[in-house]
Structure 1
């Protein structure tokens, strides 16, 4: 008895073109495995991706039913292709439809503020206050930042906005002794780094770590995303120009709306 060949389903429908071989920045062979067989949904995804380029930002994508008939595939195949394009940030849900998303926000990995990074791309930054409270510094935060265990610290949590679109969630921890009037002087929708600068506090250096995570149900609700959407999480511990502890920040960014850039020198 012969053995059946195991592999992804082959898309042999003549109405579905395979992806182009290579474009600048595209994966090698545009994701086609060496054996040349690709799943049907991937071929459909490539076709919809071309449609995205033709429609432009804000363009309305045809319904799953229309795409299914156009490409001669099952609606579940179309659904999987659309789901991946949404996760990649090329499409976004709007009401009961799907539209072409704008380009991702490219945030520099530097000591520049979120405000500066968003403005450089012609977008309007904003923030919405979730909470501002104070509590004794716990052991873990003290060990990480160099603050004294039990000393009062502020916790500032805000939703990050770009052109009124929710794109992230930021939690900042800072000593009350450094900023005793944060709760009365600081405007929650403004730049925290700008507030520090106005008070003569400058950044010296920082340690930063990036990882991918899934948002908790609470975080997903605040940012307005499905819990299954991949998120980019940045942990930062900053010090001032004299090397003293300044802030501990936990920034959660939507993986479909953000990328990060840095300049390396040999």
Structure 2
């Protein structure tokens, strides 16, 4: 293959996102060429090495490395051993009152969770206000790694009043669906849910638990839910891998 042109060809995908008067960075042109290769290889296909791609495209290995880094962040490729393969499609999680378990199962994947810790804390002023408790009231904090087909894809922290579930440590299997437990054992489930989404970088501890580089962008969801009687049920902080998740919501005009 020849060297990579620095100017956008209007008939190639390289032009997408480039200003009319702009010059295409070499890494971006390489990225577009690799995206064509990804489409040809299909899911699980092994990409050539950085050295081979650099030779084929006539660019430096650092240019190839930068292109692959962006594709890795976008979830188009993933590392496998010492190589790089075409990644499977992202998990598409609906924003709804449904649980993580239900969303993953709908996509034909096997959900799972690994307990990091379950502890009793005293609610600070902000948490107490959200759960309508007195400051200092006992609350559960449950932290779990989220799995999909045994792949670590997120980290979830759940807070709820001890008064609502006094024996959570005894009655709940931490690898199971918490919403199913609330519904089947206590007869309650979230009816009204407020969620806020933002992009963040994981802390070193979070990155270690999820098994990702600290520089990988994450999707952070803040969820507060109430039961059918309007009583606060939980506050949840969920961190999802940006390269493995996207979210959807269906809106309709009343």
Give the structure-2-normalised TM-score.
0.94
- The 3-state SS of whatever aligns with 1:203 is coil
Taking the aligned partners of 1:58 and 1:189, their CA distance within structure 2 comes to: 29
TM alignment of 1:208-223, pairs within 5 A: 208-223=195-210
CA deviations over 1:17-36 (Å, ceiling 9, x no partner): 858557xxxx9x52232115
**In 1, Cα distance between the equivalents of 2:194 and 2:236?**
11
Q: Structure 1: which 4+ aligned runs deviate by more than 4 Å?
A: 16-22
Deviations 1:109-141 (A, max 9, x none): 111000010011111100000001111111121
What's 2:246 paired with? 259
Identify unmatched segments of 5+ residues in structure 2.
Answer: none
Which 10-residue stretch deviates more, 49-58 or 139-148? 139-148
Alpha-carbon distance between aligned partners in 2 of 1:19 and 1:201, rounded to the nearest angstrom = 57
Partner of 1:200: 187
Is the 8 Å Cα contact of residues 11 and 38 (structure 1) preserved in structure 2?
A: no
Partner of 2:108: 122
Which residue number in structure 1 is paired with residue 224 of structure 2? 237
Residue 134 of structure 1: aligned partner:
120
Cα distance, 1:147 vs. partner?
2.2
**Any residues of structure 2 matched to 1:1-266 within 5 Å, and which?**
11-12=4-5, 18=9, 29-198=15-184, 199-266=186-253
Q: In the comparison of the two structures, how many residue pairs are matched?
A: 250
Deviates more, 1:93-102 or 1:117-126: 93-102
Asked if the contact 1:118/1:125 (under 8 Å) is kept, the reply is yes
Do the aligned residues in 2 keep the contact of 1:172 with 1:247 (CA within 8 Å)? yes
Contact 2:4-2:57 within 8 A present in 1 as well: no
Q: Secondary structure at the match of 1:179?
A: coil
Structure 1's unaligned 5+ residue stretches are 1-9
Match of 2:191, SS state, is strand
Instruction: Give the aligned CA root-mean-square deviation in angstroms.
Output: 1.9
Distance 1:214 1:126 in 2: 23
- Aligned-partner Cα distance in 2 for 1:18–1:139: 58
Alpha-carbon shift at residue 12 of structure 1 (Å): 2.2
TM-score by length of 1: 0.89
Classify 1:19/1:234 alpha carbon distance in 2 versus 1 (closer, same or farther; 3 Å). farther
The whole-number CA distance in structure 2 between the counterparts of 1:150 and 1:241 is 26
